Amino acid sequence: MRFSVDVSKIQGELDAPTSKSYTHRAIAIGALSSECIVRKPLLSADTLATVAACEKLGAKIELINGDLHITGIKGKPCVPDDVIDVKNSGTTLRLMTAISSLANGATVLTGDSSIRGRPNQPLLDVLNKMSVEVFSTRNNGCAPIVVRGGLRGSAAEIDGSMSSQFISALLITCPLAAEDTILSVKGQMKSRPYVDITIEMLAEAGVKILVDENNGIRFIIPANQKYDLKEYTVPGDFSSASYLLAAAAMLGPCISVHNLFPSKQGDSEIINVLRQMGTDVHWDTEKGIVTVKRRTLKGIMFDAGATPDLVPTVAVLAAVADGVTVIGNAKHVRYKETDRLHAMALELSKMGIMVKEEPDSLTITGGKLIGAAVHGWHDHRIVMALTLAGMVAGNTTIDTAESVSISYPDFFEEMKSIGAKIEKLEG
């Protein structure tokens, strides 16, 4: 699917879509409970993959008046009758690889071509140390993955530098093991806020995780716990809202985004980023409304360690800012749906922006964006970020635009509702 984008001005009010990260976790934790209602879930390609995977593991899930009603498996997954296809969802793959280790038999997990190239070896290594037989069919750490259940807790170490999803998967699964688990993080843990979200949601389900940070980071997970998440309301998503807020900062004159309340979401950092770049931002935390007015932007230093999903948004902001922006501590951004550092460097270069790409960083010199035919890399965040660039440059076309369904299915329609000049191209 291709879209054309022209010079736009935006103004108005929108509700932020609800959070993909919280929705994934609420479905998985709800499925491990007895009965659960997930209210205001994000229904996107990724989260529906988690719904389908949980159903194959024995849960019954029904959509009633926009809410997900879950009859759970009480911590005891069934052996699936068929392969679990996670589509394009890395979160689904990691969570279900760990959860299926609780089943009394073998589970096979796979996904699309992107998923079959994403690394999982740190998670597989830990599960193998916990008496699970788990392996990649191609011996490369990527899907297809075979998991033969038998999880027992133990002391284990995991590399935290690649993806926090490995840690979240283990934190969700190991409380159901027959023995206690002590999970030590090796190296710097990237995307820490996502792990904090997981622990917060587990606590709502009555599950205890102890965090010891006296000498590195250790998670102490007592065994034989029970899940009891009865009801959960999914909050608004700062990751998706970042495109709306950035659009206002770049194009103006002003928009207000509702349903953005304080939470453990790391991507709420977009508010500080916009302020540092010189934008007029007001966040009414009690009402959950963020209002952004256009101002001249300036380059900043941005550490992507905790917030990798903001990198495409910040890269586009940097392209129109005065001066130089450095996006650093970002090597893990290369292991997302695509290599997002390389993708943004290449596509912004097509649009006339000077970008220096290094293994762990991008250095972007702001300038004048020019229209171009750009590639969306089948990556929802790349497509949405490049749409903003096209709204500044004009005369821009973006392919693989259907990928926005992964996290923000209504993105193009909602952007058009506040003034974006976007049209779907035929053929």
Q: Which residues are catalytic?
A: 309
**Bridge partner list, 70:** 36, 61
4: left (phi over 0), alpha (psi -120 to 50) or beta: beta
383: left (phi over 0), alpha (psi -120 to 50) or beta: alpha
Closest CA to 225 of 194, 203, 240, 246: 203
Residue matched to tokens 């959950």 = 288
Say what the alpha-carbon torsion angle 10, 234, 285, 295 is, to the nearest 10 degrees: -20
Mark out the alpha helices in 252-394 (DSSP H runs).
Answer: 269-276, 311-320, 340-350, 380-393
Answer whether 46's CB lies under 8 Å from 88's CB.
yes
Give Cα separations from 158 to 6, 17, 126, 176, 321 (angstroms): 46, 33, 7, 19, 39
Q: What's the token pair of residue 133?
A: 């037989």
Give 173's contacts (C-beta < 8 A, 6+ positions apart). Answer: 98, 99, 101, 102, 151
Instruction: Give the sign of the dihedral formed by CA 40, CA 43, CA 47, CA 51.
Output: positive
Give Cα separations from 301 to 181, 295, 328 (angstroms): 38, 18, 8
What type of residue sits at position 389?
Answer: A
